[in-house]
Structure 1
Amino acid sequence: IAEMAGFSHKIRERTDALDAAGNTTAAIGKGFAIGSAALVSLALFGAFVSRAAISTVDVLTPKVFIGLIVGAMLPYWFSAMTMKSVGKAALKMVEEVRRQFK
């Protein structure tokens, strides 16, 4: 936005520094989110096994195997849908900003 508005070089330096800080913060936050999600899924699995009183899990059973595959795919599917929606919203926002700067 600062570039499209034609602001001075000094302002661009400041906005670029803020952008870099935001990207770093997002990357660190993403690591924490992934770690906490892994711990939560492990805790949920442990709670399920404890509550269902399951002593063994046979991964070669077709139902269990299919459940593992589908369960492993769901986070990627939801992430893909979220990223697609965010991309569409960001594109519309960029188009609106460009329209307002004309």
Structure 2
Amino acid sequence: MPSSRPRLLPWPGLNGQPCYLVTDDTGTSHLSRLADEMEAVQLRTGAELLGHARPLLQDRKADVGELRFAGHRLAEALHDALRVAESRGRRLEDREETAPERS
């Protein structure tokens, strides 16, 4: 069954605006699979970045430039993770709305 609303994609559209996919597939199109792969890369990258940032934040010798760089990358990773969460949450809501009721 088609989704009731467009899928929020993990990359920005023109001028940084949200980019959506309108399709009647069930997540099997090339673009849907590409979006799934990109979400996985974004989440994995965020986890790796967090692994590097924690020791840096505990290092009293870390300079302002290093901390600022880590902060910017962490903010980017958080932005990506929130976009993935929003997109997946919408798709879960769609599935719940179309799921048959149990009696």
TM bracket, shorter-chain basis: 0.3 to 0.5
Q: Which structure has the larger Rg?
A: 1
Q: Which is helix-richer, 1 or 2? A: 1
| TM, length-normalised to structure 1 | 0.40
| TM, length-normalised to structure 2 | 0.40
